[in-house]
Structure 1
Amino acid sequence: MSPARSALVLAGLMASAGIAHFVAPRKFDSIVPRSLPGSPRLWTAASGVAELTLAAGLVLPATRRASARATALFFAGVFPANAKMAYDWRYRSTIARAIAYGRLPLQVPLILWARHAGRENVRRGAVGVDR
C-alpha cells in the first residue's frame, strides 16, 4: 500500500479511536495509569483530542509527515495504558486476557505503520517506488 493511502487508512483508525474516547469514555478512564496527575477523564478526553488531531494531520498532505511521526510517538506514549490494562485484566477470562496482552506487542506494528504513512511517494521511471 502506498504511504499516502496508508496514511488515510491510519487516519480513519485514529479518528475512530478518538471518537470512541468521547462516546464510551469509561473504558478508557479505567486504563489511565494512576501515576498521572488529574482525573482519568481529563486524560481520556486529551488523548481523544490528540487522536482526532493526528487523524486530521494524516489526511492533509502538507502535515502528513509530521503527523505520522507524532502518531508513532503517540503509539509509544500510550503503551503504559496498555500495560496497565494487561495488569488489571490478569484475572479475567482467557479471551479478555488475550485481548489485553495482545495490545502490548501490537504497539510495534502500529508505530511502524505510522512511520510508513509518513513516507513520501517517489516515482522512478514508470514504476512507483516507496522510499
Structure 2
Amino acid sequence: MEKYKLSHSILTFIYDNPYNMGPVDLVARDVFGLEGFSPNVGIFGDAYLNFGLMGIIIFVVLLGSILVLFDSVAMKSPLILSMTIIIIPSMSLVNSGMFTSLATHGILFAIFVTWLSSTLLHRNEKVVGK
C-alpha cells in the first residue's frame, strides 16, 4: 500500500495523491466498504496512512515536543488553569490527524492562550508584590 506522504494536505504541491481521495475516504472504502462515510482515524491512523510505522514514531516524537513546549509555557500558571485550557483541544487527537488538531482544532491556540494567561498572571503577581 502506497503512503500518502501528506499529499492530501500541506505537501500537495510536492507529492501526488496516490489514491485521488483523502485518507479518511480510503479507510471508509477499504475497511468499512462504505462511500461517504468519515471514520475517525486519529493521530496514529493518520501517521500510519502518511508514512507507515516510521510515521507513527515521527508523529509521537513531534507530539511529545509540542507537549514539552506546552509544559514549559504552563509552568508559571496554576495547574487547573492550564488543564482546563488544553483538555478539550487535546481530545481532537483521538479523532483527527495531528496537523489538523494543531491548526484547526485549537491545540496551538491553547498553547498561546496558556502562555498569555500565565504571562499576565505572573506580571500581576509582580505588581501586587511591590
Q: What is the TM-score normalised by the length of structure 2?
A: 0.32
Q: Which structure has the highest helix share of the two?
A: 1
* Larger Rg belongs to: 2
Greater RCO, CA 8 A, separation 6+: 1
TM-score by length of 1: 0.32
Q: Larger % of strand: which?
A: 1
